[in-house]
Amino acid sequence: MNLALFDLDNTLLAGDSDFEWAQFLIEKRVVDREVYEARNLEFYEQYKDGTLDIHEFLDFQLKPLSRHPRSQLDAWHNEFMTQKIKRLVAPGAHKLIEQHTLNGDLCVIITATNSFVTAPIARILGVSHLIATDPEQRNGEFTGQVAGIPCFREGKITRLESWLDDRNLTWLSFLESWFYSDSLNDLPLLIKVTHPVAVDPDSTLQSHAEKNNWPIISLR
């Protein structure tokens, strides 16, 4: 058996679901535009240049989840999927996933974006396994805090290995492994797999891929 890992934002999606969710809440007037939009843009730039403090960002990103009932959040998310996400699915995403599925590979989306935002996206992409940053919940409602280790940078490796261990699997369970990503933030996990693939990469990952003769592809 082989393992196929897919980053989500700017890889399978031609955009960033974390950023778009925040913009959606601004447009719905759920959060204050003047305060929230500037911070959202600031965090997005920090993510792109590799300087993001994930805990500071999650405090910003998860707090709105704690201010509204889950039923309201779910209703908003349904609108979000229609208005923002479906148009962002990269044209080549379904075909790439289908190729690995037909080969019998274990397909997993692994993303720093929280699971509330990303679980429905994984479903429309046809990927049943998702490893994401988990928002803390109590009695089915979000607390605004993160549960466990954020699925970001080296945390993606930790979360993946824990997920495999829960299924009595290790890296040695797979003959080959792929990871598809656009971001310099995913270099720790890209280095771990047997087939790292840069997808519509940022400039840092582009340079690293060229230097190491990694495949560079576009799904757009």
Residue 209 and residue 190 in contact, taking contact as beta carbons nearer than 8 Å = no
Q: Whose CA is closest to 2, among 82, 70, 102? A: 102
Distance CA 124, CA 209 (A): 29
Active site residue 166: no
Strand order in the sheet with 129-138: 141-147, 129-138, 106-114, 3-6, 177-181, 195-199, 216-217
Q: Which of 7, 18, 105, 202 is catalytic?
A: 7
Residue 113 and residue 17 in contact, taking contact as beta carbons nearer than 8 Å = yes
Q: Which of 9, 16, 18, 202 is catalytic?
A: 9
Structure tokens at 117: 């935002």
Active site residue 9: yes
Which DSSP string corresponds to 146-194?
Answer: EESS-SSTHHHHHHHHHHHHHTT--GGG-S-EEEEE--GGGHHHHHHSS
Catalytic residues: 7, 9
